[in-house]
Amino acid sequence: MTFWERHPGAFEGISDIPPIAPNSLFRTVVTAYENQNLRGTVGVLAYMNGEQQHGASAERLFPRLSDGSFENHSKRLKTTIGDCDFCFLVNHLEFLDESLWRWSRDFLSGLFQNVGMNSLGVFYALFFGTYRTTPFGVHRDPESVFHLPVIGTKQMRIWPIDAIDPNSPIVHSMDYRHSLDRSVLLQANPGGFIYWPSRHWHTGEGAGELTVSLALSLFCFDSLEVALATQLVKSLVAEHGDLKQPVRKHHRIPFDPTNLQRTSENLPDHLHQAAEELRQHVSDEALIVGWLRLCSASGFLTPPQQRRHEQIRPQDKVSVVPGDAALYRVLRPGLTAVAVNGHVTMTSCPGVGDMVQLLCSNSTHSVQSLLDALSSSDKSPTMLQDALNVICHLIRSRALNRISDSAD
């Protein structure tokens, strides 16, 4: 913990194995490529000899299930394309890999306990390929990073914050041979990790051998306002920024170029409306819900996606996944938010907190016993259905498993 946001460092033998088995990671990467349009949640980039590839050019490079492994994928590229430097980058893999997210939650718990949560948001960036230096060259990020090798020996060259002038030509350059002063070359193998604090200049280095490594990235903005605004912008763009949607009429803001004074004196209604909507996003209730979501996701912005729709009946049984705590906050009379593993649902069911608390007391429950725990005197069919919906939410969010019934 003495390194956190102070010094870079390399650590070996933290565990016997990397956070995820290479073959399992490979399958997740292929899934990421096939699902990269999931509302922009998972980002996939391919570089060849330092140049980003697009369209068909990128498509021919990316791993396919038929490759079977990172090593075979690398061999295919060498056979079909020749001796080129390849670098692939996949963001937010935790969205597709529940076990990776659970491992990370445990990995970060000691850090959060000792130094508190970073501000705000955690995500994974996966790097793999035979590249000799990061294709976007020497750069810095607002994230504190734990770089976890999965295959091969990972090397990172790191400079202190003040070692490089932001206007220097080596920024984003892949040629920094004459700027090694004050840099340190760190390396780690699977089971260990390299750490560097936010804003430290860095680039990956390699000798042309295949490396696969996960960058567990923790945003460390100086200002909580910037952190909050960044998350808000991302969620708004994800929700409304789909360029395939038709242009809406209210984008036409009244503007008279022949009378700018009069135009400037009339603040468009649309701006008023937009400001009001923004205020709703940072209302006390919205902040409580956002914090609930972040707490239940161990800081991750894109926790594992929910399962598809599940149905549950009072006569069913459920088992509790150890470590997956359901959280709740009463927002106002008649409205409670329930969160687990980064997913929030709203319910009007009064007393749902008693049901959530009961969940923690045992490893298995009958659904009927959970419904019986509702403290409310109002156990109308509508309320019971509302409570069943909360249980379904917990199952879809992977915190509960429905125990199959032989009578089904």
Residues 310, 317: Cα–Cα separation, whole Å:
13
Tell me the three state secondary structure of residue 278.
helix
Q: Which lies closer to Fe ion via its Cβ, residue 143 or residue 316?
A: 143
**C-alpha 333: how far from its chain's center?**
32
Q: Which is nearer to Fe ion, 135 or 353 (CB)?
A: 135
Is the Cβ of residue 141 or residue 310 nearer to Fe ion in the bound state? 141
Minimum distance from CB of 199 to Fe ion (Å)? 11
Nearer to Fe ion by C-beta: 185 or 282?
185
Is 163 exposed, middle or buried, given 0-12, 13-18 or 19+ CB atoms closer than 10 A?
A: middle
Task: State how far the alpha carbon of 136 is from the alpha carbons of 40, 47, 131, 140, 352, in Å.
Answer: 21, 10, 11, 10, 50
Query: Residue 339 is inside which H or E element, if any?
Result: strand 335-340
Q: How far is the CB of 161 from Fe ion (least distance, A)?
A: 14
What residues make contact with Fe ion under the rule CB under 5 A?
Answer: 141
71 or 141, CB closer to Fe ion? 141
Whether 53 contacts 46, CB under 8 Å: yes
For residue 315, how many other CB atoms are within 10 A of its CB?
A: 10
Return the ∠ at Cα 34 (arms to 28 and 35), rounded to 5°: 85
- Specify the residue, 89 or 337, whose C-beta has the smaller distance to Fe ion: 89
Minimal distance in Å, beta carbon 154 to Fe ion?
A: 13
CB of 47 to Fe ion, least distance (A): 14
Give all strands (DSSP E) within 160-259, no chain letters: 184-188, 193-196, 201-205, 211-219
CB of 342 to Fe ion, least distance (A): 24
The least distance separating Fe ion from the CB of residue 187, rounded to whole angstroms, comes to 17
Q: Name the residue whose CB lies closest to Fe ion.
A: 141
